[in-house]
Amino acid sequence: MDDLNLTTLKKGQALVKDVDIEGLAAGLRGKLLSGKDSEYDAARAIWNAMVDRRPGLIAQCAGAADVMRTVRFARNNGLLLAVRGGGHNIAGNAICEGGIVIDLSPMKSVRVDPGTRRLRVEPGATLADVDGETQAFGLALPTGINSTTGIAGLTLGGGFGWLTRKFGLTIDNLISMDVVTAEGKFMRASEREEPDLFWALRGGGGNFGVVTSFEFRLHDLPGDVLAGLVVHPFADAEAVLKQYRQALETAPDELTCWVVMRRAPPLPFLPAEWHGKEIVVLAMCYCGDLEKGKAATAGLRAIGRPIADVVAPMSFAAWQQAFDPLLTPGARNYWKSQDFAEISDATIAILLDAVRKLPGPECEIFIGHVGGAAGRIPVEATAFPQRKSHFVMNVHARWREKSMDDTCISWARALFEATKANAIGTAYINFMPEDEADRVEAAYGANYGRLKAIKQHYDPQNLFRMNQNVKPETEMRAAS
């Protein structure tokens, strides 16, 4: 390779000699890519097509040794560093402009020990990879809602999905992690080893190191779940939402039901005359005895006059993939998110007004209900801040043409502002876009102070800054 001008942590440029770059490449089991390589463009592409950055180097790591070597290279040269797992994060922090990327996507090992009900998984694996292995043994890990999501980013941000109310957040099932720190050192983090680091990594995002392996406890999920969609006309939306929130007051932990409001895609079970019209969808999953599930979902399924009800027994892996066709890579995406203690009448009115103004056929408002087992963990037990039963609103603007950027982003921001007075202030960092750096402290609430102190200890130079960044004290003092 030739000498390269690479972006530094201070946003300047540093000339890195070819001999040093070749030395890095020679020491890797994986590949080191630059803009001259044929694989480069594919390696820098991520899920959100709005993010189009050109890193100087991409280290496609084959194992922890490659990660250690690349972290030391970035640190010694003062280079801007990004870490890519699944590349699914809305903010696009998996890729940096002009710096170096640690690409973990080749590290996909997933290994289940059915005797101990333990899972060891590498950070390049997706939720589909995890489900494929765990379900073969009648076991499950609570993760997210889209099978193409990477396990690493989802976990480090907290991880909630269809099984959260029964089995907790993804981080609540972590036993240990292998971590490469900002010094390029390999550490094991658990309740006994580096407990502060273990605490911070459970919800603190990529601020504290590069996780090269996760160890989880698994749960029995031997049969099918009862899952599917109940679709309502938008004209009934107000009544549906009010009855929905009432039904959740007595929902067992095994039952999760979320709301999606959007224009109807051409789903095969929907009559053609509904395609493209606004709808309200109740998406539900019951992870227990199917007969009990029929009783538990009966109230939700009895709401209103649905256009379609396709709730039925299916494998959990299949349900986890149900929304994949609507979330394929290649579209432009911008999200805004709020946490609510309740879905009030005032909030419902604001949401319905926003649905009437949807700027495109792929834009939607999603409301997830988090509680149950996840809500019974003390706030101070992990970095993840919001443990009370609550609702998470994700305003998902999604479109194809760059000319629609301003319209779609403005719609999402307007709804975010309109609901701010009814929100509780915290946020799920995995749903936060790149332009919300000023919201990080509030997102972590009472846990932010401890996160800042741990950041100072493990990464005082803020090498790991391509994330929803917790700045160390040294950097904050320098900035002031």
* pTM score above 0.95: yes
CB 374 within 8 A of CB 165: yes
20: number of Cβ within 10 Å: 15
The per-residue pLDDT for 480 is 57
* Residue 76 burial class via C-beta count within 10 angstroms: exposed 0-12, middle 13-18, buried 19 and up: exposed
Determine the residue type at 187: M
CB 222 within 8 A of CB 204: no
Provide the CATH number for the domain formed by 4-103 in this structure: 3.30.43.10
Residue at token pair 């009472």 = 446
> What are the residues whose beta carbons fall under 8 Å from the beta carbon of 6, sequence distance 6 or more?
13, 14, 16, 56, 57, 77, 79, 80, 98, 99, 100
Indicate where the chain has its CATH 3.30.43.10 domain(s): 4-103
Strand partners, 190: 176
Residue 423: C-alpha distances to residues 41, 347, 367, 460 (Å): 40, 9, 13, 33
DSSP structural state of residue 8? B
C-alpha 377/C-alpha 381 separation (Å) is 7
Q: What angle do CA 25, 29, 34 make, to 5 degrees?
A: 35
Sign for the CA dihedral angle at 205, 209, 213, 218 comes to negative
* Overall size of the chain counted in residues: 480
The number of C-alpha atoms within 13 Å of 442 and in the hemisphere containing its C-beta is 13
C-alpha 480/C-alpha 476 separation (Å) is 6
- We find that the CATH architecture of domain 110-220 is 2-Layer Sandwich (3.30)
C-alpha 212/C-alpha 140 separation (Å) is 21
CB 166 within 8 A of CB 371: no
Tokens of 301: 């399924």
The per-residue pLDDT for 445 is 94
Indicate where the chain has its CATH 3.40.462.20 domain(s): 225-437
> What 3 state SS string does 224-269 have?
CEEEEEEEEEHHHHHHHHHHHHHHHCCCCCCEEEEEEEEECCCCCC
C-alpha 232/C-alpha 349 separation (Å) is 17
The per-residue pLDDT for 478 is 61
Q: pLDDT of the chain along its 480 residues, tens only?
A: 788 999 999 999 999 999 999 999 999 999 999 999 999 999 999 999 999 999 999 999 999 999 999 999 999 999 999 999 999 999 999 999 999 999 999 999 999 999 999 999 999 999 999 999 999 999 999 999 999 999 999 999 999 999 999 999 999 999 999 999 999 999 999 999 999 999 999 999 999 999 999 999 999 999 999 999 999 999 999 999 999 999 999 999 999 999 999 999 999 999 999 999 999 999 999 999 999 999 999 999 999 999 999 999 999 999 999 999 999 999 999 999 999 999 999 999 999 999 999 999 999 999 999 999 999 999 999 999 999 989 999 999 999 999 999 999 999 999 999 999 999 999 999 999 999 999 999 999 999 999 999 999 999 999 999 999 999 987 766 665
Strands 219-220 vs 110-113: parallel, antiparallel or unpaired = unpaired
The number of C-alpha atoms within 13 Å of 414 and in the hemisphere containing its C-beta is 15
225-437: which CATH number, 3.40.718.10, 3.40.50.2300, 3.20.20.70, 3.40.462.20? 3.40.462.20
Indicate where the chain has its CATH 3.30.465.10 domain(s): 110-220
Summarize pLDDT for 251-272 with one digit per residue, the tens.
999 999 999 999 999 999 999 9
